[in-house]
Amino acid sequence: MRAMNLITLILVILGGLNWLAVGVVGYDVLGTLFGGSGGAAARLAYVIVGLSAVWQLMPFVQAFSEGEVSAERHIRHH
């Protein structure tokens, strides 16, 4: 579960950075990397990033219902 949380968090961050690039300079990094924003590969990348955001809703909601300490119990702090 921890690996999935880290992977989806990274994908959500990358998606956010992509939207930053779109908003600031009008450049769609994911679209460019995957053959244009309308291509099947780019659309799949967008879906995966979107599903990652949905996955990240679980720890977000859990943090409100259990408190931050309980929600992050599985994370080792150094």
CA dist 67 and 44 (Å) reads 34
Q: Is residue 58 part of a domain?
A: yes
**Please, are residues 45 and 34 in contact by the beta-carbon 8 Å criterion?**
yes
Q: Is residue 77 part of a domain?
A: no
Contacts of 76 (CB under 8 A, 6+ apart): none
State residue 58's pLDDT score: 87
Q: What is the pLDDT along the chain (78 residues), one digit of tens a residue?
A: 789 989 999 999 999 999 999 999 999 999 999 988 888 999 999 999 999 999 999 888 887 776 555 556 666 655
CA dist 29 and 24 (Å) reads 12
Q: Is residue 38 part of a domain?
A: yes
State residue 69's pLDDT score: 57
Q: Which helix (H) or strand (E) holds 65?
A: helix 40-66
**pTM, entire model:** 0.74
CA-to-CA separations, 55 to 31, 48, 74, in angstroms, rounded: 22, 10, 17
Q: Is residue 60 part of a domain?
A: yes
CA dist 75 and 69 (Å) reads 10
State how many domains the chain has: 1
Segments forming the whole domain that contains residue 51: 2-71
